[in-house]
Structure formats: structure tokens, C-alpha cells
């Protein structure tokens, strides 16, 4: 009896915690379908008008566009560099592997806001403050550690004997990589691309310091207008779309390649 009561209490605590964790995200999504002129919850009248406004509004569109392009470019560079490095560390087994992992994963543990302050002053001295290359460089730096961690785990899982076997059967090194290693590493590659893109797309901390006036991403735009304009329903509609997209990526990633195990 007490044990059953204990179990029920535990389950209640678990459900309450999950609800607390996800409530703000649910609120954001549900409110977006409200027709009201202010951000309110619970929604009262179902409507898609704020989605239409969001998609027709050129200023919102351009900030979303900037976020997407920046996210895509940074993801490709970060996952590319991370995969090369992870492959080198796993297959080359150098004596400096541990030290190199500490270096490559450093942004996961050190405070990005402090780093961004330093980067901002360096960029200002170099005159690349507020430029796209500077911004891409910063985003590659914050997304690469996530990709590196996933790719190291992915290559560690691949049996090197498979590559050796292909080689002994006469495959060239390039054929081994293309026909054996890459297909086996695909779940890891897709996971790191998904995570890297989401991290870049949703970043506020670093971008708001580095971006300058020319390259205002959607999160930065929302953050900087919050004081003056508050939260308008259009922002909520776009926020809801981004969150829905994020959930979709995570659920799909979970289904297809067990994303959460790799995070």
C-alpha cells in the first residue's frame, strides 16, 4: 500500500516536472493560434492570422532568412571540420587525443557570454565587427563542439575491421571512406547537423553581441525589441513555428537515429 502510494507520488512529481519543463513551449505554440491582438494564454479564438502576418511581413522574413542562411553555412563548416577532426582522433589514436578533445569541446563548458565580450573587442580591433564572415566564424565556433562530440562517438562505434576488410579487397582509401565509413557514420552526421543548425539558429547570447546592425537574426531581433515593443503576436507566431520545427527535428531524429542518445 505504502509502496503503491510512493509510486503514485513519484509519478505525480515526474509529470509535474515535465509539465513545468515544457509548459512555456506549449504556451508559445498554443497562443500563436489565437486571434487576439496581444499575446495571451489560454487562446480564445482559433485563427491563423498571425502566421499570415508573419509570413507577409518583410522585416520578419529577412531576419528569418538571415538566421537560416547563417545556420546552414555554419552547420556545413562546423560539421565538416568536426568530422575530419573526429575521424583523425578516433582512427589516428594520437597521444594528444585527450588534450585535443579538451580543446575542441571547450566551448561547451566555458561561458559563451564572457567569450563573446572578448571576441567583440578583438573583432572591433580587426574591423570585422558586424560582418558576415565574423558572424559565421563565431557560429562555427559555438556549433562545432556539439558536432565534434557526436562525431567522435559515431566513429568510435564503427568497427575499423570493416574498413580494413574493404581495403584488403582492393578498395582505394577514397572508396573506403565513401562506401564504408560515411554510410556507417550517417546517423552521427545527421544528428550533428540537426543539433548544430538548431544551436546556431536559436542563439541569442553570442549573436546579440557580435552581429552589429547589418545581420540581425530572428532571435536577436526579438530580444532587442522586447524592451521597446514587448512581445507582439507576430513574434509569437514565428517563435511557435521555430519551436515546432525544433520539436519535429528532435522527434524525427529520435525515430530515425536515436538523437537523444547522441546529444
Partner 1 sequence: MKQTPDIKPIATALLVAPAAILMFGVFVLPFLFLVVLSFWSQVPGSLGLDPTFTLANYARIISDSYYLGGLWTTLWLSGLVTLLCLVLALPLARWIVLHAKRTKGLLIGLCILPLVCGALLPTLGLVNLLSPLGFINGALKSMGLIKTSLPLLGNIAGVSIGLIQAFLPLMILPLISTNERIPHDYEKAAMSLGATRLVAWRRVLLPLMLPGIVAGSLLVFCASLTAFVTPQILGQGKVVTFASLAYQQAAMVLDWPFASALGMVMLLFLALAGILGALVSRGLGRSS
Residues 52-71 interacting with partner 1 (rule: CB under 8 A): none
- Decide if residue 136 touches partner 1 (CB under 8 A): no
- Decide if residue 1 touches partner 1 (CB under 8 A): no
For residues 29 and 240, the answer to whether their CB atoms sit within 8 Å is: yes
Q: What angle do CA 145, 147, 150 make, to 5 degrees?
A: 110
**Nearest approach, Cβ of 157 to partner 1 (angstroms)?**
15
- Decide if residue 106 touches partner 1 (CB under 8 A): yes
Q: How many residues does the chain have?
A: 263
User: Which of 54, 66, 70, 89 lies at the binding interface for partner 1 (CB under 8 A)?
Assistant: 89
Task: Write out the H or E segment, with its range, that includes residue 79.
Answer: helix 58-92
Specify which residues 46 forms β-bridges with. Answer: 34
User: Which of 45, 58, 92, 127 lies at the binding interface for partner 1 (CB under 8 A)?
Assistant: 92
- Decide if residue 8 touches partner 1 (CB under 8 A): no
**Nearest approach, Cβ of 95 to partner 1 (angstroms)?**
8
**Nearest approach, Cβ of 76 to partner 1 (angstroms)?**
14
DSSP state of 177: I
User: Which of 98, 122, 126, 165 lies at the binding interface for partner 1 (CB under 8 A)?
Assistant: 122
- Specify the long-range contacts of residues 211-214, CB closer than 8 Å, at least 24 apart: 211/130, 211/135, 212/129, 212/130, 212/131, 213/130, 214/130, 214/131, 214/132
- Decide if residue 121 touches partner 1 (CB under 8 A): yes
Specify which residues 34 forms β-bridges with. Answer: 46
Site string for partner 1, 164-203 (x = CB under 8 A): x------------------------------x--xx-xxx
Amino acid at each position: 500500500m505504502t509502496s503503491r502510494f510512493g509510486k503514485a507520488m513519484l509519478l505525480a512529481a515526474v509529470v509535474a516536472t515535465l509539465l513545468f519543463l515544457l509548459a512555456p513551449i506549449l504556451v508559445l505554440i498554443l497562443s500563436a493560434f489565437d486571434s487576439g491582438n496581444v499575446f495571451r494564454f489560454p487562446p480564445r479564438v482559433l485563427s491563423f492570422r498571425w502566421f499570415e502576418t508573419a509570413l507577409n511581413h518583410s522585416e520578419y522574413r529577412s531576419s528569418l532568412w538571415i538566421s537560416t542562411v547563417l545556420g546552414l553555412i555554419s552547420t556545413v563548416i562546423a560539421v565538416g571540420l568536426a568530422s575530419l577532426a573526429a575521424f583523425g582522433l578516433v582512427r589516428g589514436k594520437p597521444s594528444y587525443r585527450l588534450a585535443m578533445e579538451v580543446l575542441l569541446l571547450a566551448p561547451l563548458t566555458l561561458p559563451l557570454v564572457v567569450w563573446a565580450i572578448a571576441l567583440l573587442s578583438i573583432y572591433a580591433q580587426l574591423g570585422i565587427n558586424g560582418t558576415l564572415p565574423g558572424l559565421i566564424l563565431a557560429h562555427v565556433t559555438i556549433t562545432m563542439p556539439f558536432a565534434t562530440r557526436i562525431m567522435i562517438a559515431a566513429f568510435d562505434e564503427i568497427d575499423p575491421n570493416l574498413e580494413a576488410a574493404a581495403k584488403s579487397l582492393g578498395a582505394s582509401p577514397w572508396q573506403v571512406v565513401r562506401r564504408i565509413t560515411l554510410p556507417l557514420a550517417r546517423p552521427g552526421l545527421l544528428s550533428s547537423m540537426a543539433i548544430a543548425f538548431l544551436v546556431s539558429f536559436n542563439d541569442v547570447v553570442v549573436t546579440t553581441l557580435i552581429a552589429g546592425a547589418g545581420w540581425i537574426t530572428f532571435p536577436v531581433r526579438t530580444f532587442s525589441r522586447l524592451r521597446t515593443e514587448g512581445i507582439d503576436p507576430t513574434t509569437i507566431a514565428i517563435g511557435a513555428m521555430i519551436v515546432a520545427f525544433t520539436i519535429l527535428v528532435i522527434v524525427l531524429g529520435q525515430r530515425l537515429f536515436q538523437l537523444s542518445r547522441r546529444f
